[in-house]
Structure 1
Amino acid sequence: MDISTYNTCPDPAMQLPHAKQSRPLICIVGPTAVGKTKFGVELAKRIGGEIISADSMQIYRGMDIGTAKATQEERQGIPHHCIDIVDADKPFTVSDYREWALESMESIYQRQKIPIVVGGTGLYVQSLTHTMTFTQAKEDRTYRDKLFQQGETETGKYSLYQKLQEIDPKAANRLHPNDLRRVIRALEVYHVTGAPMSEQYGEYGENKQFRTLMFGLNRNRENLYAHIDERVDHMIEKGLLEEVEDLLKNHVTPDCTSMQAIGYKEIVAYISGECTFDEAVAMIKQGSRRYAKRQLSWFRRFPEIKWFHVDEEDSAIILQKMVSEIEGIL
């Protein structure tokens, strides 16, 4: 049974508590291409919710195809927040995201709706579900400029990443070697404070402001990889190459954080003559599969996530189980 066959009218019994500390927060997480967007929209229709994207690349304007942003048709009238909020040539941090998301959540609560965080960027989700202390380390622009000069070559860039792996492996594990801006910031924080950036976030504790329910979606590996390959092929058909070309024409340079996203950096490599188009597509598929594995590893650290396998259970039944769980915290 398709999940859309369920009654999509919110249950009138689902009234939100007024006390801030008891406000519900629903999260749908999991690997790329597992179907989070569809479930998020259908759940929002069922319980009277609005979507908060937790995708570190959907924040960028002009990056629609390669980030698999839901179209207006796919959103089915459900408001989506934290999408298209910054130009693709601008920096954006997890603390920026948290500020945007919390502001959006407050407006959602004021409308007596339920925020549903949907996405696969684990750090974004964690910034809302757990307490986090963001480092306020002072800057050392001279040191930073020196590192940027070193990172102008591929060899220099790789050596910087290796250095970060040595002093802060947790931070390095969250970053791509080509994400030069964030690699250098992590090195700068260590240089200024003498402590790894990852340690300055401290141990995460549950955010007591919310009554959080976290749902995880997964598929068996073969089916997940098949969906990933199909999604990449669809992105190519929709014009991913042209999208990247337009970004480059509009002053988004290859070293911008946004262009380190899977799907974009490979197309940039093709445009630069570093590989063939078929090789770029193959690298996108491979990179997406590896990213899915990293996402699963991240989310499996949280025992509070209730997992559903969309290959093994009917989607409509999964949706109904989610609704029942949510009713239990309202």
Structure 2
Amino acid sequence: MTKVIAIVGPTAVGKSALGLQLAKEFPGEIISGDSMQIYRHLNIGTAKDSPDELKMVPHHLVDICDVDQRYTVKDFQSNARKIIQQLTKENIIPFIVGGTGFYLNSLIQNLDLGGQQDADDSLRSRISKIEQEQGIDGLQDYLQQLDPKAYQKIDIDNPRRVIRAIEVFETSGHSITEQENGQSFAEFYLIGLTDDRQKLYQRINSRVDKMIDLGLINEARPVYQRQKDIPQAKNGIGYKELFPYFAGDASLDECVIEIKKNSRHFAKRQLTYFRNQMQVNWHNISEEPDYLENIRTEVSKFLAK
């Protein structure tokens, strides 16, 4: 049976560092499970591993799209599955690292993501108007009212996924979550990292400050300038919050505060999703001094079964 290790948890908790360490030790290769790290040139705001870290262990599904390209959960599911199957043939352990819960869930449960009815032009036009006038927040509010079940389960920070959920419900009267799962093609072991809330929030705030120091402003400016051409990438946390600064409507300090706030909210949503939707083996990095050694032991046992 194909075996896959997945490392999940809230943003800034240390998933990437753990993935690098485990992939070097066992050995394996890393498949990014992040919906924004697919984009070339968006490096700082997406918290990609550094160029040196990317060289330590082969990475997949990083820097595979230009910012104007769409990338769906179905694309991830298909690409990740092919990579997993190829690595397994080569006796290499696949390590999926990332915080986009629905991406990972689509892979684990082998969700049937095709075959839904298509929306008509009038519906697409109505949804497009909401997106243009109210942005991702308006789409999220509409989905929450229309299909609360989907709002709780899907990746609501991905506008394409939110739009698709709205289309499916409006067209069929059924939630996009009411899908049959296919037969699993692999055995997954999920490692979850978490931390005490205040410590996690401090880590998030520090990470945002570091991103600013590393040049996030210059990285985000072209996203603002091309926002009409990049409907998916422009909604990434760390980018959209700076748009008022570029437009002269807010100070940089105000926008940085907004990035930190949205990152904290995102971390909370990530934890809620992983705890409610998946069977995760959790490790609190503050309360468990030997968490790294414990994880090594768990991975060894899983791979030896």
TM-score, length-scaled by structure 1:
0.83
CA drift at 1:151: 4.2
* CA–CA separation in structure 2 for the residues paired with 1:302 and 1:175: 12
* CA–CA separation in structure 1 for the residues paired with 2:132 and 2:31: 36
Contact 2:34 2:99 survives alignment (8 Å): yes
Contact 2:8 2:193 survives alignment (8 Å): yes
Match of 1:197, SS state, is coil
The answer to whether structure 1 residue 145 and structure 2 residue 125 are counterparts is yes
Contact 2:69 2:230 survives alignment (8 Å): no
Task: Deviation per CA, 1:243-292: give whole Å up to 9, x if none.
Answer: 0113345x443861211111111012221233211010000001111111
Report the number of matched residues.
301
Matched with 1:99 is 78
Match of 2:31, SS state, is strand
Counterpart residue type for residue 62 of structure 1: H
2:143 pairs, out of 158, 164, 169, with: 164
Task: Deviation per CA, 1:189-236: give whole Å up to 9, x if none.
Answer: 22322222222x34x58x642222111101111111111011000100
TM-score, length-scaled by structure 2:
0.89
Matched with 2:164 is 185
List aligned pairs for 1:75-114, cutoff 5 A: 75=54, 77-114=56-93
Contact 1:50 1:78 survives alignment (8 Å): yes
Measured at CA, do residues 180 and 215 of structure 1 come closer, stay the same or move farther in structure 2, by a change above 3 Å? closer
Matched with 1:244 is 220
Measured at CA, do residues 150 and 94 of structure 1 come closer, stay the same or move farther in structure 2, by a change above 3 Å? closer
Contact 1:189 1:195 survives alignment (8 Å): yes
Give the % identical residues: 38
Counterpart residue type for residue 327 of structure 1: S
Counterpart residue type for residue 319 of structure 1: L
Counterpart residue type for residue 38 of structure 1: A
Counterpart residue type for residue 274 of structure 2: F
The answer to whether structure 1 residue 136 and structure 2 residue 109 are counterparts is no
List aligned pairs for 1:1-330, cutoff 5 A: 22-75=1-54, 77-139=56-118, 140-154=120-134, 161-173=140-152, 174=154, 176=156, 181-199=160-178, 201-202=179-180, 208-249=184-225, 251-253=226-228, 256-302=231-277, 304-314=279-289, 317-329=290-302, 330=304
Contact 2:223 2:239 survives alignment (8 Å): no
Counterpart residue type for residue 294 of structure 2: K
Q: Unaligned stretches of 5+ in structure 2?
A: none
Measured at CA, do residues 229 and 238 of structure 1 come closer, stay the same or move farther in structure 2, by a change above 3 Å? same
Tell me whether 41-50 or 190-199 shows the greater mean CA deviation: 190-199
Q: Unaligned stretches of 5+ in structure 1?
A: 1-21
Tell me whether 88-97 or 277-286 shows the greater mean CA deviation: 88-97
Contact 2:150 2:176 survives alignment (8 Å): yes
* CA–CA separation in structure 2 for the residues paired with 1:238 and 1:150: 34
Measured at CA, do residues 285 and 158 of structure 1 come closer, stay the same or move farther in structure 2, by a change above 3 Å? closer
CA drift at 1:181: 4.6
Matched with 1:15 is none
Measured at CA, do residues 157 and 73 of structure 1 come closer, stay the same or move farther in structure 2, by a change above 3 Å? closer
* CA–CA separation in structure 1 for the residues paired with 2:5 and 2:138: 41
Match of 2:281, SS state, is strand
Measured at CA, do residues 246 and 194 of structure 1 come closer, stay the same or move farther in structure 2, by a change above 3 Å? same
Measured at CA, do residues 192 and 303 of structure 1 come closer, stay the same or move farther in structure 2, by a change above 3 Å? closer
Measured at CA, do residues 144 and 30 of structure 1 come closer, stay the same or move farther in structure 2, by a change above 3 Å? same
Contact 1:31 1:218 survives alignment (8 Å): yes
Contact 2:2 2:85 survives alignment (8 Å): no
Measured at CA, do residues 103 and 252 of structure 1 come closer, stay the same or move farther in structure 2, by a change above 3 Å? farther
Please, what is the CA RMSD of the aligned residues? 2.4
Contact 1:51 1:80 survives alignment (8 Å): yes
Measured at CA, do residues 227 and 162 of structure 1 come closer, stay the same or move farther in structure 2, by a change above 3 Å? closer
Measured at CA, do residues 101 and 268 of structure 1 come closer, stay the same or move farther in structure 2, by a change above 3 Å? same
Tell me whether 255-264 or 283-292 shows the greater mean CA deviation: 255-264
